[in-house]
Amino acid sequence: MTNHASDNPDVPNSPPEVSNQQLVRAARSFEAILVSQIEIQDKLGDDLKASIRVGMIVLGLIAISILILLLTLSSQINRISAVVSDMNTNFNSVTLHMDQMSISIDSMAQRVALLEIMHKQMEIMDDEMNNMLDDILVMKSTMTNITSHVSSMRQNVTNMSISMDHVNNEVQMMSLDMSHMSQPARTINKMFPMLP
């Protein structure tokens, strides 16, 4: 009668033998895990590239917006220059009218005895004063336009500051997204430290 190790309590049980089929299954499982990790890393790399491309597109759009703002500011400066030129023209016109008024006053002094002629000269002076009033009104309108242009420039500068704040927020959000995207890869590296 043959004695088995399981029948004898004094003899320890020997470890179970691992068959070739079990080894093949274990190798395939390990290979599947490695392939899955490589696919996850490739997907993370593709997502990172897509995020970088989107960020570059966003930065490009912001750069175009800033360029448009700068061109707008440049055009506003050109308009202000044109308004200042109009003011110079109006000042020259006022100077010319003042000279004409001086001539009219000299003529009135020479003909003070002639009331009729003096009355005509007074009418000329009234016309000149009306012209001066019109010029002053034009100058007032020009100053109002300058004030409006300066306010517009100030608003554009404020808009540029807001755009730069948005750019800063977008960059910070991109940094957080990249940190979240890299978290699975770090977890896998902790699980398999022997992998490169």
Has residue 58 been placed in a domain?
yes
Residue 5: which pLDDT band, with cuts at 50, 70 and 90? very low
Q: Is residue 12 part of a domain?
A: no
Distance CA 181, CA 45 (A): 9
Residue found by looking up tokens 């308004």 in the block: 83
pLDDT attached to residue 192: 60
Listed in sequence order, the DSSP H helices in the chain are 20-110, 115-191
- What is the residue range of 106's domain? 27-171+184-191
Q: Do the domain assignments include residue 75?
A: yes
pTM of the model: 0.28
Average pLDDT for 81-106: 80
Within a domain: 108: yes
Helix axes 115-191, 20-110, angle to 10 degrees: 170
Total count of domains within the chain: 1
Q: Dihedral, CA atoms, 117, 119, 120, 121, nearest 10 degrees?
A: 90
Mean pLDDT of the chain: 79
Whole-angstrom CA distances from 42 to 87, 109, 177, 187, 193 are: 67, 100, 17, 15, 18
pLDDT score at 1: 41
Reply yes or no on whether the pLDDT at 6 is more than 80.
no
Determine, yes or no, domain membership for 156: yes
Higher pLDDT, 88 or 133: 133
Residue 64 domain flag: yes
